[in-house]
Chain A
């Protein structure tokens, strides 16, 4: 038997059978939602409508309705873009990188984390599009001849790399996610009794039968897609950071950006995964599958990535002084002491100081504390992007061009709208999709189930002594 050390914590609590796993995970799909769900949905959907209305207003009137000006020409829009893309990264990290490292605890969380990735990238992609002002010419970013002559897109431009990176990232994540969903949709399909549900899940399951050869290919495809997604996810946020790093703006023009952005992305992404899953496990009664051990593991990743981010901030400060370039030095002095220094100190305290509290085991296994911290980290990471973008721009080379940036209600409203889009999609997902990868979880039940592990320890007592 392929047992596992009894010292490893079980990943599935209680005495579950394969059928019980199916029941527990299909329950939200087949039962009516509670009152709280509809309240949450109404809130999220209202925010979505508000955001969509403001986007219509923005497109109809022009980007002048934002608080942008000639000096600060990127502000909340690109902050939101980078923030949302970053959030997406945790999903791919969990499903791809943890698959390559054979981390079994990923199996309870990868499905919903990947869903989060897809929805976050949808929110992210919206911002550069509406920031173009004339969204109807957004196809100019595609490699097509310009209509005024044989002028093509410029492949030397980081902004074009971004178009390719985000497109690839979104579509590949979607394909990876959907391929993993097919066997679980088949499980849902085969238990439906209502004709409407039968038709829907027959379409989504695409005729999966679970033959031996199918599973053999399925596993190979999952492995290769994980192998492809791993460098992809690291490249995406590197390319996002090139949007800044290849420019000559003091505060942006640094070689540390790619690794620093990737670490920050995973940091904020895990925080968002925790925000969502801590609520989801309670509401959908998945406490046996998403356990304290899973939460603790995610908190450990938050400590690691949060510390990397902290080191990056300090390195940036040191290098700006060491460079001897007065503009570079001023950019950082202005960040820490200028008129927007409050945002810098929010960033520092939320991202550098607060995650260090997770070194204490009591705190990182406390669900309420983790939930609050996950919100704190997301606030901090939003401010990180705000600090990088706005404080670098608002006082540039010529003091006569210095300005301040003040968001308008359209800036704020579209950000709230993007949160509405995200939560609406996630709430819809949580009641129509199998939120946990059932087939994968069943394959580890005999190894990592709590009752199964106890039986194992009784059968092979010599294991317990070593």
Chain B
């Protein structure tokens, strides 16, 4: 039997059964390549052995950048390059005028933080208009939880894995 790049799919219909199956199969020594879900199942990331995502760091970095760039822009335009004296209220230093600059600093922080984070998310998740959906079973965006198991990297035999999948509640076992 050709064991190279052979993949089987265990299809589940319930999120809790899927979660329990992932935990049980991993305990039995099966290496699960991926689970495609129609909605987020809480605890599944942990059960798969994933670390918590640190994508929110990107929001902080972009936000800090936005705030600094806005401060630099305001300082250059209104303090350094062309200080205006409006109604006898001159703007000769950034500190003196700081309260009036808060709204723009805040909006610029949020603007860059939000868009930077969204862009980071699209980039690391490989989302771009027109990319094909790479989920192997089309029902995995509807009501099925599809567990992908690569047989080439298993210590157990194919039959053992199939038996385990059945035992832990897979409704079907498919070959691509």
Contact = CB atoms under 8 A, between A and B. Distances in A.
A211 B50 CA distance: 12
Contacts of B95: none
A305 B130 CA distance: 43
A278 B55 CA distance: 38
A209 B127 CA distance: 9
Interface string B96-134: 010011011011101101110110011011111111111
Contacts of B52: 216
Contacts, number: 205
Contact of A18 (B78, B134, B143): B143
A179 B118 contact: yes
Interface in B19-56: 34-41, 44-45, 48, 50, 52-53, 55-56
B107 A165 contact: yes
Given A1-B16, A202-B133, A212-B35, A224 B59 contact: yes
Interface in A134-185: 143, 150-156, 160-161, 164-165, 167-168, 171-172, 175-176, 179, 182-183
B154 interface: no
Contacts of A155: 74, 77-78, 97, 100-101, 104
Name, among B55, B74, B107, the residue most crowded by chain A CB atoms within 10 Å (CB to CB).
B107
B19 to A, nearest CB: 11
Given A189-B141, A207-B133, A210-B140, A156 B91 contact: yes
Contacts of A160: 104
B163 interface: no
B135 interface: yes
Contacts of A205: 133
Ranked 8 nearest A-B pairs via Cβ: A207-B131, A18-B143, A152-B77, A206-B127, A161-B103, A215-B40, A190-B138, A439-B39
14 contacts: A143-B77, A151-B82, A155-B101, A156-B101, A165-B107, A179-B121, A187-B141, A190-B138, A206-B129, A207-B128, A210-B37, A228-B59, A239-B107, A443-B15
Given A156-B89, A213-B45, 17 more contacts: A154-B86, A155-B104, A156-B84, A156-B97, A164-B103, A187-B141, A206-B122, A207-B127, A207-B128, A207-B131, A213-B53, A215-B40, A217-B121, A217-B124, A218-B40, A235-B107, A239-B107
Interface of A: 1, 17-19, 22, 143, 150-156, 160-161, 164-165, 167-168, 171-172, 175-176, 179, 182-183, 186-187, 189-191, 202-221, 223-225, 228-229, 231-232, 235, 239, 242, 438-440, 442-443, 446
